[in-house]
Structure 1
Amino acid sequence: MLKFATVLLKPVSLVPTRSTTLRRTLPRQFKTYATNAKDFTIPKTRNIGIIAHIDAGKTTTSERMLYYAGVTKRIGDIDDGDTVMDYLAAERERGITINSAAITFGWQGHRINLIDTPGHVDFTMEVERAVRVLDGAVTILDGVAGVEAQTETVWKQASRYDIPRIAFINKLDRTGAAFGRTVKEIWKKLRTRPLVIQLPIMNEESMDERHKGLRALVDVVTMETVQWDPSHTDGSIITRTALHPDQSVYAEAVKARTALVEALAEMDDAIVDVFFEAAEGDHLLVPAHDLKAAIRRVTLSNKAVPVLCGASFKNLGVQPLLNAVIDYLPSPLDRPDALATYSSAKTSLIPLSDAKLCALAFKVVHDARRGPMVYVKVYSGKLNTRMTLFNTTTRLKERVNKLLQMYAKDVEEIPTIDAGNIGVIVGLKDTRTGDTLVQSNDTHAIKSGLQLSNIEIPSPAFFSAVEPASVSDEEAVETALKNLVREDPSLKVWTDEESGQLLVSGMGELHLEIVKDRLVNDFKVKADMGKMRISYRETCQASSEARAEYDKEVMGKRARAACRVEISPIEQEEQTLEEGWILNSGNQLSVADISQDASEKDPQMNPEDIKQAVQNGLLGGLARGAVLGFPLTKLKVKAFDLETFGPETTLGAISACVSNGVFEAVKKANPCLLEPMMEVYTEVNENHIGSVVSNLSGTRRGHVIGLESSMDDDNDVNDHVQVYAPPDSLLVSSDIEAYKPKQVIKAHVPLSSMLGYSSALRSLTGGSGSFSMRVIGYGEMGKDRERAVISEMKGW
């Protein structure tokens, strides 16, 4: 800790005492690429996303950003259904973000590529593929609700990619909002060091409820008050004035700046030198530009997160947030080089300055007029229009017809996409989410199988049957579903072998509801969706061994192969992977020994080809269980003693034989059903705890793990670190004193029991309760429950 001199309550002399007024620029031509391409270099580019819990204010904040940047002439409103970012009919109808929308705009000489992501748990795939390509993120928190469950989920998603973030505490205009409490929750729940660089100034004197709440803020870095002209309700006129000791918030601002300098000194050596040499040991004399530089360094290294405040709906705090994006979030040059892997299992880094093209397709959208639009981020080289590309994932060549810069649903045709930028390719027919694209003449990348790290795709939890209205509609329905699956890899489509039904699975009820809406409204097909069902899994409770022989005539030629398959359940203590085994969908597979033995018996066959054929057979056998045909998981499977019959043994025969062997072994190993288990966080008032816990543990067959207050202190989080958070009683209206923290109930509950929980919780808590959940795995179900599921699924 720095030893600082006694702080005198005196005005800071490093900032002007006169008022500075900032006005919004007039609306202009919003296209920022073709007209000003040379002005936006890589250091002046920011690829950022807005991530948060549902209803925290992501889209509202995005709309204000576009308005102040001059992109729009009026502020879009979710309630009016006229937002730029939520442009799909389903989004405007429901008032939520479903599709992550991208838009490019300019701010203070910088180009910002912004992606507004959904907050609903059903669309977690949209967040996953967005954070994969982002350089930085703005996390928006509800000042009333604090850090919510889905906030923690998206925060972990961003942490997996080490994305620098800034936090914006929103909705400080609402009764019950508490800035200081939310700062503490950032430290406690998100496990990150918050740096308070703004303080809210609340309006306590107004008798009119419409004018209560946030009215101004303190910029702790420059020690200025930032005020919005109340006569301009769009928040376009800002006045910055140096703080004076006579102001009521001055003493708290001094504490905040002292805490900021102290915190930075713990994480950044350069600011220590500035503190002793330039500021002579006075926290208030540390120059603002040195503080900004230090905040940027600790943010880029993910040591801390700057915390800002505002009320986007009331048009307060958005312009300083945009300034913080420029000041503290990274350009593509500030991010680590992209990691590439090769077919030889070697890895290397691809620097941004590399002249050879390397790009990642992270999103595909089907446009009725333009066809498939592939969103890409270019990690090196330059992507030009009419260029021929090679997809190292599908091993296919594709040609670029057009390159586009996106402005939500509007586009601008552009000639190139430079390294570090995000754009859209029109004309790629077979590229999917997660594919790596290189130039078709890059022989080294093509031969070596260069691959950028892929995007993790979550497993679907629900499924439903899709019924075309007539036989003539079948082809249109299948084509529409194919396009939807290409857009959203978390969707799965397959045909049930027994019933012949076309089935589609997704992340949740809302997810499949949106699929139905899009089939009918966007793709104009005549189809209906059946009852929502749970996507179960199967496993085995015992070990078994089976011998399978494949002997069939295929197209006039005999195909023969025989093998043995051994199967056993994975015990809890066997989670580590043994050498030579492969992990796939929760199963452990062994294919090494069998390929070597077979090639010794039949030298004409390539061991690698045999190995791949056996692996395909194992995966095919595990794709369909013996109880209800659901995929198998939590099993150790080994194929051995492969018998070959000369030219009659083909790779296809080996795969089919191994697949049959798996099925026979599963039937003898006491197969059973597994059901998706959810980790559920339910936030309720204290007087509703009993009824909610009783409902979760009784009616819904759940197991309550724990109960905690949203205000509990966590003594496990770095006790020696002092985190500054302003006292809410000093900065917020007196209404906050009556605020009682909610209780958070954590439980593990089967997904099937959570259907309709939203309505039940509203009834139990009088509408005051809220919950969120995520899949944590699959658990065994009781025999009675299993018999009921089998009876329901088979219809007898």
Structure 2
Amino acid sequence: MVKFNKEEFELLLSRRDFIRNLSIIAHVDHGKSTLTDQLASAAGFIDEDSAGEKRVLDVDKNEIEKGITIKSTSLSMVLNDPSNEKEKIIVNLIDSPGHIDFNSEVTAALRVTDGAILVVDSVEGCRGQTETVMRQALQEKIKPVLVINKVDRVIEELQFSPEEAYQNFQRIIESVNVLISTYGVEDDLYKNLQMDPTIGNVAFGSGKMGWAFTIPQFAELYSKKFQTSADKIARKLWGEHYYDHEAKKWSTEPYSKVSGKKLKPSFCEFILEPIFQIFKLVKERSTNSNSSGEEIALSEELSNVIQKLSISLSKEDRKKDSKNLLRTIMRKFLPASKSLIQMIIQHLPSPVQAQKYRYSLLYTGDLNDSNAMAIRDCDPNGPLILYVSKMIPMHSNTSASSISNNVGRFIAFCRVFSGTVKQSSSVRILGPAYEGAQSKKDVFNAHVQRVLIMLGKNTESVSEVSCGSTCGLAGLDKYIVKTCTCVDEDNFECMPIRNMKYSVSPVVQMGVEPVNPADMPKFVDAIKKLVKSDPLLECRTNSAGQYVLAAAGELHLEICMKNLEEEYGKGIPIKQSQPVVSFLETVTTECEPCFAKSPNKHNKLWIHAEPMSEELISLIEEGDFVKQDVNKRAKVLEQEFNWDPAITKKIWSFGPNDKGPNMLVNASHSVEYMNEIQDFVVTTFQQNTMRGALCDEPLRGVVFKVDDADLHSDSSHRNAGQVGEASRRAMCAAQLRASPKLVEPIYLVEIQCPNSVMGAIYSVVNHRRGSIKSTEVINGTPLLNIVCHLPVLESFGLTQELHGLTSGQAQAQCNFSHWSIMKDDVHDPSSEVNKLIQSIRRRKGLKDQIPSYTDYCDSQR
């Protein structure tokens, strides 16, 4: 086995044109990890026989138990260029999860890479998560290539003919191209990008068996036979191209001009038929017991085929059963690593190429300043600018000897976009809430203790890593919660790299607390480490003081709880509640101003609430609108949302957390001391939007407008305590007066099942308040793909119910879709939503009864 050569790797790091940073993305179980094994084998990390079975980057114990990828894991490799053995290339590969619950890991992987290998199961085709990860990749300006995987299933399970398989591949490629044209339509990078087998950005194969091919590979083989260039042959091996053997010429007509006989598509005749023939001949091979270890004879026809392909089989190979013999033959005929490496080199960009078009997406500052230019040019001598996309727990085998006690410590996994990061570099850490040079919020100074190359569960310490590559940094975890930008300690002008936007939301919650109150300090520390280890997981305390974990789904929550109990909080008995759903609160009408006095009666406020349009909510949630220049923002509000020009520049705050989809607006006119109380009202607004008046859930889509105020002239009588309380009560009253509603999360659910159980599936969905969106036959299979919307509240136990009802024939995948307003009157005691709100209030230690707006209003007499 070839071990990691640190000296060689450090030498190659300076050749940025020969670096590729890529993610492998796919729907769950489409075969990412088996393809990763093939590349790892080519780099010498695992032996050839283990590739496809070992799942080298599934290093977490939960991944091994569940058989799925849960954490995105990086492996830096030195690979030989198959077309030039003297040339070497660095590939920083990240294997990312396919299950939707762990999609935040995909986001973290894509941010630090430039290319993506999209893997699609040849039987299942494009599924829901295929579309999700592809959309994410295109939003991050990631250039994709396609691998149609598990082709062996098409041959053996579905028993397709070559023409049926070809048609199936065409449908998959067309589906991927539709995704590119749909989600990349506004980007020049994708205007002319298509997955086109003739140019080699599509590969076909079987990661598990270790074989794959591209059309250019076969074109090289056939170019001598047809005495023409490989490029010309490649263009004829896909689409409406046929070879007329009688006329001895290529044709675009499906019938021979000599005999009128139907011709075979060239892809079928020259590529698929030889592969199908090998499968057929090996299957027909004598399978007399080989337990004695004796060599089994090959048929004459199979021997001839192997000889023509220049494949040599050892005596040990000939003793193998048919399954392993087929794997050996196909791996020698069409080694997967060769196809994948060629596709990576030829069709995925180097960091030098990618940063020229990605810098405008990544950098939040002036795109003409020196920092932006350094990112654009991938300048190793420029200012240090790197982005940490996730925190990785240290293992005992981490190469960070200067870090005392690795347990509970984290590596900051990052991409260096400019400059060079070195051991002992002094850096300025810009957190997600950092707002610029004048801001002291979320900014820290620290020293890098180790620079690490990521090798799956292992690491290797190096002296430095320059721009264009990924690496791990040790010693910064005290200052980073989840993500950040790091720059030189004296670079005060650099703005941060744009924060990541996740496509999933933490909509499933669970309350947790230590059984023994004396364990609370250790428990809090364990919670902090758990939250740091997961890009999406959130933790907050409710009004009863209980810690509440919020995750993407049941499986995500299950894994997080397991990590809390067995790793970060090991030895601490933990009490947990039943999983519950995250809700939001909103308003649906504009109300009259609500009046409230300060406790000392010297200050009066009039505030009303009104609903925000869904379009404006979406704009705010995208992130850029909140940080826009005041004048630009005002123009958008006036022109696109018909806001009154008098108030468009008087937005005091967004909330919660200064960025949420709620707004506080100063709509008053000529009121004294308003600027002096602004901070007090904003603080209250942040608290109220985090915990609404209905049931302590966050607000969404509410605009609070301060219409008028009567404030005491003496500042000591209009302090934070006085004005804050008055504004709190006025906002609560306004929310409750503006037709408040509860908002619930909705899943988009994909269910694969045989036609025979469709009625049972429909019944389950309808019983759970779901609605069927579509039902389609999966081409070439007896399976249906049922797509429906289902409230997250009704999703608990769905997988188990479907499994039991259909004897395991139905598989469901839940993906967060949208938020939906629950229509029932929240104050009607007979409504389901009223009962739901009461149960939420009861769980949080609040009074069952929903308050009225009059409970917060003061009399104006």
User: Structure 2 length as normaliser, TM-score?
Assistant: 0.68
- Contact kept, 8 Å, 2:16 with 2:468, in 1: the verdict is yes
Q: Which one of 557, 575, 587 corresponds to residue 661 of structure 2?
A: 587
Q: Does 1:443 align with 2:492?
A: yes
Cα distance, 1:483–1:643 mapped onto 2, change above 3 Å: farther
Please state how far the C-alpha of 1:395 moved relative to its aligned partner.
1.9
- Ranked by relative contact order (alpha carbons within 8 Å, sequence separation 6 or more), the top structure is 1
Question: Equivalent residue for 1:688?
Answer: 757
Please state how far the C-alpha of 1:756 moved relative to its aligned partner.
1.7
> CA–CA distance in 2 between the matches of 1:200 and 1:139?
10
Please state how far the C-alpha of 1:472 moved relative to its aligned partner.
1.8
- Contact kept, 8 Å, 2:25 with 2:116, in 1: the verdict is yes
Tell me the secondary structure at the aligned position of residue 4 of structure 2.
Answer: coil
Tell me the secondary structure at the aligned position of residue 679 of structure 1.
Answer: strand
Alignment of 1:185-584 (within 5 A): 185-188=172-175, 191=178, 192=180, 193-197=194-198, 219-224=214-219, 244=225, 255-256=236-237, 317-335=336-354, 336-339=357-360, 350-351=375-376, 352-353=378-379, 355-367=382-394, 369-370=405-406, 371-392=409-430, 393=434, 394-428=442-476, 429-445=478-494, 450-457=495-502, 458-497=504-543, 499-523=544-568, 524=570, 525-544=572-591, 545-551=593-599, 562-570=604-612, 577=641, 578=643, 579-580=648-649
Cα distance, 1:565–1:749 mapped onto 2, change above 3 Å: same
> CA–CA distance in 1 between the matches of 2:327 and 2:169?
14
> CA–CA distance in 2 between the matches of 1:754 and 1:665?
33
- Contact kept, 8 Å, 1:385 with 1:400, in 2: the verdict is yes
- Contact kept, 8 Å, 2:148 with 2:203, in 1: the verdict is no
Question: Equivalent residue for 1:265?
Answer: none
- Contact kept, 8 Å, 1:54 with 1:118, in 2: the verdict is yes
> CA–CA distance in 1 between the matches of 2:689 and 2:770?
29
Q: Which one of 798, 812, 836 corresponds to residue 789 of structure 1?
A: 836
- Contact kept, 8 Å, 1:221 with 1:257, in 2: the verdict is no
User: Residue by residue, what CA displacement relative to the aligned partner does 1:8-32 show, whole Å, maximum 9, x if unpaired?
Assistant: xxxxxxxxxxxxxxxxxxx222144
Question: Equivalent residue for 1:628?
Answer: 695
Structure 1's unaligned 5+ residue stretches are 1-26, 203-210, 226-239, 261-283, 285-309, 553-558, 712-738
Q: Does 1:677 align with 2:750?
A: no
- Contact kept, 8 Å, 2:106 with 2:133, in 1: the verdict is yes
Tell me the secondary structure at the aligned position of residue 443 of structure 1.
Answer: coil
> CA–CA distance in 1 between the matches of 2:240 and 2:710?
73
Please state how far the C-alpha of 1:255 moved relative to its aligned partner.
3.3
Alignment of 1:678-717 (within 5 A): 678-696=747-765, 698-711=766-779
Tell me the secondary structure at the aligned position of residue 451 of structure 1.
Answer: coil
> CA–CA distance in 2 between the matches of 1:748 and 1:682?
11
Cα distance, 1:657–1:372 mapped onto 2, change above 3 Å: farther
> CA–CA distance in 2 between the matches of 1:653 and 1:381?
51
Please state how far the C-alpha of 1:616 moved relative to its aligned partner.
3.6
> CA–CA distance in 2 between the matches of 1:106 and 1:440?
32
> CA–CA distance in 1 between the matches of 2:481 and 2:368?
24
Cα distance, 1:564–1:417 mapped onto 2, change above 3 Å: farther
> CA–CA distance in 1 between the matches of 2:722 and 2:535?
30
Please state how far the C-alpha of 1:520 moved relative to its aligned partner.
1.6
Please state how far the C-alpha of 1:45 moved relative to its aligned partner.
0.5
Please state how far the C-alpha of 1:258 moved relative to its aligned partner.
7.3
Residue identity (%): 23
> CA–CA distance in 1 between the matches of 2:590 and 2:8?
65
- Contact kept, 8 Å, 1:560 with 1:644, in 2: the verdict is yes
> CA–CA distance in 2 between the matches of 1:687 and 1:777?
31
Structure 2's unaligned 5+ residue stretches are 81-87, 181-193, 242-265, 267-325, 396-404, 435-441, 618-639, 825-830, 849-861
Choose between structure 1 and 2: higher helix proportion. 2
> CA–CA distance in 2 between the matches of 1:216 and 1:127?
26
User: Residue by residue, what CA displacement relative to the aligned partner does 1:569-600 show, whole Å, maximum 9, x if unpaired?
Assistant: 23568765544457657734143556x956xx
User: Residue by residue, what CA displacement relative to the aligned partner does 1:696-752 show, whole Å, maximum 9, x if unpaired?
Assistant: 2x20111222333444xxxxxxxxxxxxxxxxxxxxxxxxxxx43633322222111
Please state how far the C-alpha of 1:35 moved relative to its aligned partner.
5.3
> CA–CA distance in 1 between the matches of 2:203 and 2:531?
45
- Contact kept, 8 Å, 1:155 with 1:190, in 2: the verdict is no
User: Residue by residue, what CA displacement relative to the aligned partner does 1:225-264 show, whole Å, maximum 9, x if unpaired?
Assistant: 8xxxxxxxxxxxxxx7867479xxx99977325779xxxx
> CA–CA distance in 2 between the matches of 1:547 and 1:312?
80
Q: Does 1:774 align with 2:815?
A: yes
Tell me the secondary structure at the aligned position of residue 708 of structure 1.
Answer: strand
Please state how far the C-alpha of 1:155 moved relative to its aligned partner.
0.7
User: Residue by residue, what CA displacement relative to the aligned partner does 1:328-370 show, whole Å, maximum 9, x if unpaired?
Assistant: 1000011125236668999855422261111111111233643
Please state how far the C-alpha of 1:143 moved relative to its aligned partner.
1.4
Q: Which one of 74, 83, 90 corresponds to residue 111 of structure 1?
A: 90
Cα distance, 1:487–1:707 mapped onto 2, change above 3 Å: same
Alignment of 1:141-160 (within 5 A): 141-160=120-139
Tell me the secondary structure at the aligned position of residue 522 of structure 1.
Answer: helix
Cα distance, 1:742–1:69 mapped onto 2, change above 3 Å: same
Choose between structure 1 and 2: higher strand proportion. 1
Question: Equivalent residue for 2:828?
Answer: none
- Contact kept, 8 Å, 1:133 with 1:377, in 2: the verdict is yes
Q: Which one of 44, 49, 52 corresponds to residue 23 of structure 2?
A: 49
Cα distance, 1:53–1:647 mapped onto 2, change above 3 Å: same
- What amino acid is the match of 2:99? H
> CA–CA distance in 2 between the matches of 1:56 and 1:327?
24
Tell me the secondary structure at the aligned position of residue 632 of structure 1.
Answer: coil
- Contact kept, 8 Å, 1:32 with 1:105, in 2: the verdict is no
> CA–CA distance in 2 between the matches of 1:416 and 1:628?
52
User: Residue by residue, what CA displacement relative to the aligned partner does 1:636-694 show, whole Å, maximum 9, x if unpaired?
Assistant: 22234345443324467655543443223223334332211122222333333333233
Cα distance, 1:185–1:639 mapped onto 2, change above 3 Å: farther
User: Residue by residue, what CA displacement relative to the aligned partner does 1:419-454 show, whole Å, maximum 9, x if unpaired?
Assistant: 111111111121243422111112333xxxx12111
Question: Equivalent residue for 2:311?
Answer: none
Question: Equivalent residue for 1:757?
Answer: 798
- Contact kept, 8 Å, 1:40 with 1:110, in 2: the verdict is no
- What amino acid is the match of 2:769? R
> CA–CA distance in 1 between the matches of 2:120 and 2:709?
58
- Contact kept, 8 Å, 1:597 with 1:642, in 2: the verdict is no
- Contact kept, 8 Å, 2:211 with 2:330, in 1: the verdict is no
Q: Say what the alpha-carbon RMSD is for the aligned residues.
A: 3.6
> CA–CA distance in 2 between the matches of 1:376 and 1:560?
54
Tell me the secondary structure at the aligned position of residue 412 of structure 1.
Answer: strand
Question: Equivalent residue for 1:162?
Answer: 141
Question: Equivalent residue for 1:67?
Answer: 41
